[in-house]
Amino acid sequence: MSREEYSVVVEMDDEPVRREELEFQDFSSTSGVGGKIAKDKQATSDNDGFNNASFFDPHQSIRNESQGGSYPLWSIEYYARYFDVDTNQVLERASKSLFPKDNFVEVVGSNPDLYGPFWIPTTVIFLLFVTATIAKFITDSKSQYDFVILSFGFAAIYTYSFGMPFIVWGALKYFGCKPLLLDTIGLYGYSLTVWLPISIINIVPSDTLRWVLVLVGFAISGFFITRNLYPIISRADSKTSRLLLIFVIVAHAAFALLLKIEFFSYSMG
């Protein structure tokens, strides 16, 4: 009688164990065929160009880089964190653009800002307007302030310092280079630092010297941009990376030529 009871106990205890094993099996792991499919899907989404639903969201990179707190995109608080830099940080980053030996992304670290990329182009616009006005007064004392050139300066400088980063960021993102939007904006914004002294010095009467100064500005700012963009551009295939690099250089050369023609071409004889 006791042998039968013992066998019953064994049978009753054995079945729950099997159920627990079935209940705690993990079929969602990334191993096996399911894991391979998931990895293939993720790899495909890294370089799917315009098919990525988040591609056309320029704030995606900003959201990924944000640290702490969540605010709506239209709120001042959302962008306030990117102006939270002191004068020493801005001056250091500006000086690194004049002597581009270090990787600018490493200089900025995890604290990219919009303060420098906003105020540096704004100051360049103001200086271009002032020097152009002074040059006109020197050649013709009856000249008046030319606010048309001021409006053109706002359009040209802001288009390049903010529009060009979006174009470059979009192209790099399409080709799977995984750029960061804030780093790209900062790169183009701080690249204009060299044009601050050039805008003042270009009041000289020699047109040849003005051409030399424009070429110097183009070389320094162009080297700063390409040196820091190249590690990102090189993530694409060799042919695509060459085309992207040529596009960046040609666009920068066009910008420098525009400055010479529109702001530094005047006769002071």
Please give the structure tokens belonging to residue 79.
């962008």
Nearest to 198 by CA among 267, 133, 124, 117: 124
Q: What is the CA radius of gyration of the chain?
A: 29
Per-residue pLDDT of the chain (269 residues; tens, 9 = 90+): 444 444 444 444 444 444 444 444 454 444 444 444 444 444 444 454 545 544 444 444 444 444 445 666 666 666 677 777 888 999 999 999 999 888 898 888 888 899 999 999 999 999 998 888 887 777 766 666 777 888 999 999 999 999 999 999 999 999 999 999 999 999 999 999 999 999 999 888 888 999 999 999 999 999 999 999 999 999 999 999 999 999 999 999 999 999 999 888 876 55
Cβ-count burial 211-247 (b if 16+ within 10 Å, e if not): eebbeebbebbbebbeebbeebbeebeeebbeebbee
Q: Return the SS3 of 83.
A: helix
Domain ranges of the chain: 94-264
In the numeric block, which tokens belong to residue 221? Answer: 């700012």
CA–CA distance, 124 with 198 (Å, rounded to integer)? 9
Q: How far apart are CA 45 and CA 42, in angstroms?
A: 5
Q: Are 159 and 88 in contact (CB under 8 A)?
A: no
Q: Are 117 and 183 in contact (CB under 8 A)?
A: no
